[in-house]
Amino acid sequence: MNETVVSLCCETPKFDGLSAGFKRALWIIIAINGTMFVVEMIAGFAAGSKALQADALDFLGDAATYCLTLAVVGMPLRTRALAAMVKGLSMIGLGLWIFGSTLYQVLILNVPSADVMGAVGFLALAANLFSVVILLRFREGDANVRSVWLCSRNDAIGNAAVMVAALAVWLTNSAWPDLIAAALMAALFVYSAIQIIAQAADERRGAPEFLPES
């Protein structure tokens, strides 16, 4: 028996998403994220809130991420790892967009509407907490599965940040709390993306090239 086979036999395989419950959870969360993208983007433009717009784009990115996750479930580990790397890179792109739009808002310094930020932020937080509860039992797995959990967790953290920013905007009548919240969200997206890419790279290096997965 060669070394590759021994390694495969002795290691506990990570959950790869091949579960009816996991797929059902993803479809529910895709619907939630698509709906919240539309709601938050409209509200973000109406309120002049970069934090809401950033969070709306995160909803859209997550919906696309979950669709890609579904598409590669059951495929070889190397393919799933490659998909996870693509998702990680897209999260970095999203983070860079948020940083850029935040700098643009700093130059304009429009004060966003705190009441709209708070109301929509609360709705988004409720949606993401529901998603987190659904995904809680699927938080461990390969990079493809783990990326779903990290996206939902980041959303919930981001929504909490939007609500804190809304209160600070109302208290200070300044756009700076909104800008700080958007920047912190962007940093969180980039950090999570680095985690996903690192795990996916390890899985690609360890995946067998010629032996089928058991």
Q: In which band, very low, low, confident or very high, does the pLDDT at 213 lie, cut at 50, 70 and 90?
A: very low
Mean pLDDT throughout 44-59?
75
% of the chain beyond a pLDDT of 90: 4
**Residues 63 and 37 sit within 8 Å (Cβ to Cβ):** yes
Average pLDDT, the chain: 75
pLDDT on residue 110: 61
Contacts of 162 (CB under 8 A, 6+ apart): 49, 51, 52, 55, 117, 120, 121, 124, 125, 181
**Residues 191 and 182 sit within 8 Å (Cβ to Cβ):** no
Write down all domains in the chain, each with its CATH number in brackets.
19-206 (1.20.1510)
Q: Between 192 and 116, where is the model more confident?
A: 192
Specify the DSSP class assigned to residue 174: -
Token pair 């983007």 in the structure block, residue:
41
Phi, psi of 170 (to 5 degrees): -65, -40
pLDDT on residue 147: 78
pLDDT on residue 27: 92
Question: For residue 8, how many other CB atoms are within 10 A of its CB?
Answer: 15
Helix (H) or strand (E) holding 132: helix 114-135
Measure Cα distances from 183 to 16, 101, 153 in Å: 33, 9, 17
| Dist CA 59 CA 89 (whole Å) | 16
